[in-house]
Amino acid sequence: MKKRKKRRVARHAPALACPFCGEAEELFVDAGGGDAQVYTEDCAVCCRPRVVHVEPGDEPGEVRVWLERGE
């Protein structure tokens, strides 16, 4: 009998506005990164750094994501 690997799926977050230029963009959260994550990612439009915060949501499998300006 083969063991199945636990698959790590990217979770889809709603479109969020860049804190610099205001352009809305959908983000994908890597489930393999853990339930709570903080990382810096450049905006695809204005290329300025924004800090992405990820927390577990109220329902199983749901995530809460928000952005703030990076330095």
Distances (CA, A) of 11 to 2, 15, 69: 27, 13, 22
Residue 57 near residue 63, CB atoms below 8 Å:
yes
Q: Would you say residue 10 has pLDDT above 70?
A: no
Q: 38-62 pLDDT, tens per residue?
A: 999 999 999 999 999 999 888 887 8
pLDDT value of residue 14:
73
Listed in sequence order, the residues at least 6 apart from 57 whose beta carbon sits closer than 8 Å to its beta carbon are 63, 64
Give DSSP secondary structure letters for 6-63.
Answer: PP--EEEEEEEE-TTT--EEEEEEEGGG-SSEEEEEE-TTT--EEEEEEEE-SSTT-E
pLDDT value of residue 27:
87
pTM reported for the whole predicted model: 0.77
63 pLDDT band, cuts 50/70/90, is: confident
pLDDT value of residue 11:
67
